[in-house]
Structure 1
């Protein structure tokens, strides 16, 4: 009797089939994870940009305007979401926020909800309080009823 080493064709086909099934189950969760990362990155970019402008307002002792649309003039900083993200709700009237020289929000407290363009069940919530505090809540899917005016 010969002592054969290696795989038979059937063993190879079974292995490839099992790997194919594993990849088929993993792909949707990988896609959702990538979409969640894109949404969080855009939301974090908004928060970082707002925090930077708020800091400028305090350091320069000057009112600063944060625009959420490129058509807003005058504006000290403009932020426009990437193609991956769309506004859910809460876009401020006039598409701008103003930080005074104390870093406080001139308008009332605001809450924004962002959705992923390809998976609208994914949401990110950003709250800007009158006090100037900016909160990014990855876990929430809705604005709180009390935005905390101070």
Structure 2
């Protein structure tokens, strides 16, 4: 006696329906994962820019400025010249990330310390899409840069 091989049409439809239900349950989780990764990427990029600016200030023994903008903007010709000389660095949010509030330009002096502030600077990067997750970057007066807190906006 010969056995049947393969799926019947009903079995195939039921299998596809089960897979569709599983995919529908996974979609919100995947969206949250992508938003979280975008927030991580933005904060890591900011920390990298700040570390590079601090290192450049120590290396060249001159003040280096970092402009953190709320919206992506095109730099002026003067700013482009300073960027080429590595005395001006910029950061703007990517994707659904945004700064919670405007931040004054951050200036590192020739020793790597903050010369633009007498207190620690806290910068909060929020996730605009959900508005629930945020990361706080702290720059101490001596120039140490830390990503310390995960919070809510």
Partner of 1:147: none
Counterpart residue number, 1:148: none
The superposition leaves residues 93-130 of structure 1 with CA deviations (integer Å, 9 ceiling, x where unpaired) of xx201101110112121111111221211211111111
List runs of 5+ in structure 1 lacking aligned partners: 143-150
What TM-score results when the alignment is normalised by the length of structure 1?
Answer: 0.82
Which of the numbers 99, 106, 111 marks the counterpart of 1:102? 111
Tell me, in whole angstroms, the C-alpha distance in 2 between the residues paired with 1:31 and 1:25: 11
Identify the residue that residue 29 of structure 1 maps to in structure 2. 29
Secondary structure of residue in 2 paired with 1:140: strand
1:64 equivalent in structure 2:
64
Q: Contact 2:38–2:95 (CA<8 Å) still a contact in 1?
A: no
RMSD of Structure 2 on Structure 1 (CA): 2.3
Task: Give the whole-Å Cα distance in 2 for the aligned partners of 1:59 and 1:2.
Answer: 81
Contact 2:133 2:150 in 1 (8 A): no
Is structure 2 residue 99 aligned with structure 1 residue 80?
Answer: no
Structure 1 residue 24 displacement after superposition: 0.7
1:63, CA displacement in angstroms? 1.1
Counterpart of 1:133 in structure 2 is: 144
Q: 2:10: which partner in 1?
A: 10
Matches for 1:114-129 after TM superposition, within 5 Å: 114-129=125-140
Give the Cα–Cα distance (whole angstroms) in 2 for the partners of residues 100 and 3 of structure 1: 81
Please report the TM-score for the alignment, with normalisation by the length of structure 2.
0.81
CA distance in 2, matches of 1:29, 1:5: 37
Residues matched between the structures, number: 139
1:52 pairs with 2:52:
yes
C-alpha distance in 2, partners of 1:7/1:78? Answer: 59
- Deviation of 1:20 (Å): 0.8
